[in-house]
Structure 1
Amino acid sequence: MAQTYHAKNIYNLLLEGFTEPELRRFCFYEPNFRSVYEQLPTVAGKTDVADAIVQFATSHDLVKLVLDWAKENNPSRYNGNQPYFVEVSPTQDEQKYFASSDDNAWGRHAVEDTVSRPKARGKGAEYYTYRVRVASLTQVQVEKRNDQNELLNEPDGKFQYKKYRAKIQPLVAAARTGKLVGKQVRELGEALFNSLFDGKLSQDFVGLYNQVVHDEKKLLRIELDIDEQTLPEVAALPWEFLCVPKSANLGTLWLGAEPNLIFSRRRRQWFLPHRLQLGAGEKLRIGLAIASPNDLGPVVYQTVLADLEKLIQEQGQRFELLPVVQEATPKELDRLLAKQPHIFHFIGHGQFNQLALVKPTKSALWTNADDFADLLNRHRPGVVLLQACEGGTLSDEQAFVGVASQVVAQNVPVVVAMQYKVSNGTASLFARHFYERLAEGLPIDAAAQEARREIALQTNMYNSREFATPVLFMRAPDGYLFEQSAKPPVPILDTPLLPAENLRRV
């Protein structure tokens, strides 16, 4: 007699007990299944994802890990689908099933092996949180929380911006003009890191990073909290360039793009948003608005629009692109927002504290941050993406009235803004990967982190400002904003009992 896995019940547990985004999130957060997540096609449906999980789990002796996760997150379904292990004398045909079946061919070839056997996770989040608050021009306060959201300690340190200001400012100026290249990018990142983390805090951060990422195989969420009213110059700095110095012996570590970190800007004082409930099968609606007044330079948006349309073609079951507003007058924006898009994507001209909308005469209507934010009283999208020249930048004198900060202060849960003028290729690359990761169920800040990394991988790596251009302002405490009701159970064919010792695929 041998112990076997009851394949039918395991498949039913995953298919009936969890949505596709939930299964993808499991693969993303569970280190031993990260290779599965990275190789899942974006067009893969729930049955494909469940199949990949089961195939990988059975071939790497990880079934218990999957079952422990399912039991923790859906105990009623877990109990209803038992048994998962039985004692049988397998037939020869059953032993050969996985070696010969083509019914799940994609799952057989979707993943690689060579991962270590894990310990089952207990309850709690899959990440630690390292909140960094610049309290004044001289002090930094840190709040560290574990994966149970329990406060670990609250170390503090000296804010050393004055010490590094003379080095930082010329590099920031070069970034604004697009002349920051090569080793200067890392010089800026390290100078920003040293200004934020003195010797004591740097050692504290490195220690926690090693514990969380290397020892516990979890993610580390970094939240930067800067008061724009009292520290406008500091808030305006491009913190997305943050890079751990070589002296820390961590190798190359860019905080805004490292896949084991999640970096965002989040103020402690912001009200926490409610999660947006999506009905079963409800798609994420994207509202795209383009403002190209005839008395300003042309707004070249065709690449972004073509990429969004391609996204809709490939993932029509997840996204809906609302009719595009080609001339973004206040009235047309109001009509678009009345259709309640989950994501509002604006492309146009911008300057400090102003975005250029379009008058009925088609000339520019410069709209300040307050008035632009007021348009969102019609409907507050879950995510606002501002693709404008200065959309994500705050001036030294009046930081709080920067468009992005003002929009997020309007109780919009998430605002993504470009702090530099970007090419349409970079903007399209970010938007596409950001939206795709959201549809897969990733937290918003994790989706932005993955999209920034994608920019680095597909452009100039870390030798230009491109990867650090997207700035994320976020209210959601854990990054989860959209919550979808479970879809009806998907029927599957009966699957034979599979002996554990014969499940490894070759």
Structure 2
Amino acid sequence: MPQDYVDFDVTIEHAGQGYAVRVGGTTTSAPFTLPFAPTELAAFMVAVGPPRAATRRLVPAAARVTDVKDYGGRLGDALFADDVGAAFRQSLDAARTQGRDVRVRLRLDTVPELEAVPWEYLYSTGLGRFLTLSTRTPVVRLLDALDTPPPVTVQAPLRVLVMISSPVDMPELAVEREQQLLRATTNDLVAAGLLELVVLDRATLPALQRALLDPFHVFHFIGHGGWDRTSEQGVLVLEREDRTSHRVSGSRLGTLLHDARDLQLAVLNACEGARSSGRDAFSGVGQALVRQGLPAVVAMQTEISDRAALVFSHEFYSFLTRGLPIDAAICEVRKAMATSDEASEWGTAVLLRSGGGQPFSFAPSTVPAPSPETRWQSLYDAAQGALASDATLTAVPMLEQLAAERPDYADVTALLERVRPGEAPGTAPEGTRPPPTGPGADPPSPPSPPSPPSGTAAPPARPRRVPLLVAAGAVVVLAAAGGTALWRAQNPSPPTDPPIASSGTTPASGAPSTSASEVAGARTVTLPTTGQPTGALVLPYAVGGDYFSAAGSSQVGPWGDLIDVLRLPNGNRVVTVSQAGTVRMSLTDTGGESLMDLGAFGSRVEANRGTRFAYVDRGDGHLSVRDDEGTEVAALQAVGPEAEVVGFAGSAVFFTNGGSTFRWDTKTSRAAEWRQAEMVVFNDSTRTAVGRSDGGCFAVLKVDTPSQATRNLDCRGLDVQGLTGDGRYAIAWSTPTGPEESQVLLVDTSTGRPAFAVRVPSGSSVVQSGYRTSPVPRTLELSTVTPDGRNRLVGCPTDGTCSILTEPKHTAGDPQAPPPYVISRD
């Protein structure tokens, strides 16, 4: 089924301080300005990514399509502006008179920072359609290759080598589930003799090398990927012989694939969003493979939902085996995905090519294409088998797809009602599926917080820390990042780091478990609720042996009611106050004299172990990085007043917005989505971060290094609230909703297991936590409210018993009373 294309080559390159678009082979060019801020791009990719029950509201499909159309239209108008647009229209007219179509080939070789832009959503306002949803205007990303092999003639079946990688030290991938879904959706093609799937037993390089001694046409990878910032290249995460992770670069993988003479295509299916440093890691691997001679690579820009994967795999291999050129086959797949469930994941796949030739030439075959009935029966049988083995998460997307294609097929409606109780088909948010609960599941994100009551002062945007008013508002306590927290429970999701698998002991629903039973393997002590205070007001906080406290600090300063004090290495302090109903920040010297008014406070302020601190300015919504003298050394505009900084890792600043965590490299000025979820806190000195989800909690170790890894934490259903100053423990607790007992846990970030537990008696609750690393003994310190409404500070040494440290008292009119405390922190 030949498709004759006229190539319209478009190259984007640097021009002065901006960009220019040039039409290949001509002098035609025009200035180009990306019409989006980095955070807008990342937010768009979240919106069109895999559905999540908690993040995808019940929005009419038409509204979502309008949003995608708006994005694509803005991008298309920017790319095809002025003379470039005129040249494109001329190319379309010329091709039409010849009975041919136009293939847009996009070159981004010299502007790698634009590779993360999802060009696959280009919308032409002149044509009134998305270019990639038509075989008449496919869009491919063009790369130069050192060696382009001739096309391979395929005698049915098309042979596909499948590698599913799930290392033991990475978030667990449901290998069996992935394999079942792939086999279920392609079983009709296999049964017809058009396709053959061979799944590797082990996802190691030696196993791949041995397998490639046999002829295969396609390499299909499912697993994790990432971007190695040290070597500046994308990697796939394979397995070693001991099942630990093995990060393999695209060039190294290409060494094996290049010598497989029949292999012409690689399909890289991301099980994590791979966006970081403004680069798409899977695209980076794909580029290396194409440059080493693989004619074509299909790489997913982000993770893809089970439902979309079912459609993609079936339609892609179906159209390939019918002899369609790969450019046209991808367009047909996009159309099938676009019409399947009204979602917008059809632009997830990126087609990388080296030249205009086709990788395959299919020999004439008398094998008829399977009928739709064969596919429906295949999906139905596979779903029934999954339900019989209690694999509901495997069955649901198959049933949903079957219901979308043939709603009256057998008892599919009844089966869907059974696996989605209380939810009739057609009433759920389009594209959503039941909240994932199993290993490798993508956790849903939380709903947006409610607006503050009328007449109250607006808190910092998307607050994770909330002032605690004690004794008619006399004392304000705020949690410290890196060791203390009173932060709103927020969900983190995929990433660009991998999605987090829930631990086996975490409730599937994510609801806090308030049982105060003994925690296996962890020393357990009981929180006292009565007793005499031990002396001065103090809640010490330490990082790296730097111990100090703020005993004697006054709550009321010359600039307003004191909320937080952030001490910088040179002794200056960032002071946060509530002033006339507005939260503001000031930089002060060691004597308390104001050096600079930092303006309205838009997020919590964080400092690295060097001489910088970062925050979001509530006034204009930009993220500011300043040195310890207050000079702004870096700024990222338009992150929005709802964004908030969560920490540093070297030169990178991490912030959250719209349910995602973003990484901003202050050296390169690149900002991109780091994880499709919100993190809780980062620790710059130890390169450790913690986050939480409905499926459990987790730690990210060695952040922003080649050894970055995600560790599932057994938080026993509690919310991870913070991270100790030494990065050794995540602190987890939840406020009970009734009279039951609860717990506070220290969970070891290296092993993932609870190491220390504090029973919180019935009626008491914890409102913030801290951890003292020096002097010994190491102590978990808690601010609590007792059943009679009294606030107490309690210290729980990890090798002793808990005792009350102090009891905050109201200072107004009582000169003998000790002053309220403020947590001062690094």
Q: 2:92 aligns with which of 188, 192, 209?
A: 209
Relative to structure 1, is the Cα distance of residues 428 and 410 closer, same or farther in structure 2, using a 3 angstrom cutoff?
farther
Aligned twin of 1:307:
185
Aligned twin of 1:329:
204
AA matched with 2:295 = P
Q: How does 1:146-165 map to 2 (within 5 A)?
A: 154=26, 156-162=28-34, 164-165=35-36
Q: 2:69 aligns with which of 175, 178, 186?
A: 186
Identity among equivalent positions (%) equals 30
Distance in 1, Cα, partners of 2:235 & 2:350: 17
Relative to structure 1, is the Cα distance of residues 475 and 397 closer, same or farther in structure 2, using a 3 angstrom cutoff?
closer
CA contact (8 A) 1:329 1:357 kept: yes
Verify: 1:423 aligned to 2:423, yes or no: no
- Give how far 1:469 is off: 0.2
CA contact (8 A) 1:369 1:403 kept: yes
Verify: 1:254 aligned to 2:123, yes or no: no
SS in 2 for 1:140: strand
Verify: 1:472 aligned to 2:351, yes or no: yes
Distance in 2, Cα, partners of 1:179 & 1:382: 29
Aligned twin of 1:235:
115
Verify: 1:273 aligned to 2:172, yes or no: no
Q: How does 1:111-190 map to 2 (within 5 A)?
A: 126-137=4-15, 138-143=19-24, 154=26, 156-162=28-34, 164-166=35-37, 169-178=38-47, 181-190=64-73
Q: How does 1:280-429 map to 2 (within 5 A)?
A: 281-295=155-169, 296-299=171-174, 300-301=177-178, 302-313=180-191, 315-316=192-193, 318-322=194-198, 324-352=199-227, 353-379=234-260, 381-389=263-271, 395-396=277-278, 402-429=284-311
- Give how far 1:340 is off: 2.2
CA contact (8 A) 1:270 1:475 kept: no
Distance in 1, Cα, partners of 2:182 & 2:282: 29
Distance in 2, Cα, partners of 1:271 & 1:197: 31
Max Rg structure = 2
SS in 2 for 1:338: coil
SS in 2 for 1:136: strand
Distance in 1, Cα, partners of 2:226 & 2:114: 19
- Give how far 1:187 is off: 2.3
AA matched with 1:469 = T
Superposition TM-score, scaled by structure 1 size:
0.61
CA contact (8 A) 1:293 1:364 kept: yes
- Give how far 1:487 is off: 7.0
SS in 1 for 2:105: strand
- Give how far 1:156 is off: 1.6
- Give how far 1:362 is off: 2.2
Superposition TM-score, scaled by structure 2 size:
0.38
CA contact (8 A) 2:105 2:142 kept: yes
Larger RCO of the pair (alpha carbons < 8 Å, separation 6+): 1
- Give how far 1:468 is off: 0.6
Distance in 2, Cα, partners of 1:397 & 1:240: 16
Distance in 1, Cα, partners of 2:299 & 2:291: 14
Instruction: Structure 1: give runs of 5+ residues left out of the alignment.
Output: 1-23, 30-125, 144-152, 489-506
Aligned twin of 1:94:
none
Aligned-residue Cα RMSD (Å) equals: 2.8
Relative to structure 1, is the Cα distance of residues 394 and 132 closer, same or farther in structure 2, using a 3 angstrom cutoff?
farther
- Give how far 1:337 is off: 1.7
Per-residue CA distance 1:218-273 (angstroms, 9 max, x = gap): 3211111111xx3111222111011113xx3x32x111112322221112565433
Relative to structure 1, is the Cα distance of residues 288 and 210 closer, same or farther in structure 2, using a 3 angstrom cutoff?
same
Relative to structure 1, is the Cα distance of residues 481 and 377 closer, same or farther in structure 2, using a 3 angstrom cutoff?
closer
Relative to structure 1, is the Cα distance of residues 131 and 390 closer, same or farther in structure 2, using a 3 angstrom cutoff?
farther
- Give how far 1:477 is off: 1.1
Equivalent residue pairs, number: 338
AA matched with 2:347 = A
Distance in 1, Cα, partners of 2:12 & 2:259: 34
Distance in 2, Cα, partners of 1:411 & 1:394: 26
CA contact (8 A) 1:391 1:417 kept: no
AA matched with 2:9 = R
Per-residue CA distance 1:447-481 (angstroms, 9 max, x = gap): 111111211111325xx3x0110000012413x22
CA contact (8 A) 2:321 2:362 kept: no
Per-residue CA distance 1:19-48 (angstroms, 9 max, x = gap): xxxxx44xxx5xxxxxxxxxxxxxxxxxxx
- Give how far 1:283 is off: 2.7
Distance in 1, Cα, partners of 2:279 & 2:333: 31
Q: 1:222 aligns with which of 94, 104, 107?
A: 104
Greater share of helix: 1
Distance in 1, Cα, partners of 2:211 & 2:70: 43
Q: How does 1:99-114 map to 2 (within 5 A)?
A: none
CA contact (8 A) 2:115 2:280 kept: no
Distance in 2, Cα, partners of 1:364 & 1:448: 31
AA matched with 2:172 = G
Relative to structure 1, is the Cα distance of residues 206 and 170 closer, same or farther in structure 2, using a 3 angstrom cutoff?
farther
SS in 2 for 1:473: strand
Instruction: Structure 2: give runs of 5+ residues left out of the alignment.
Output: 50-63, 228-233, 367-826
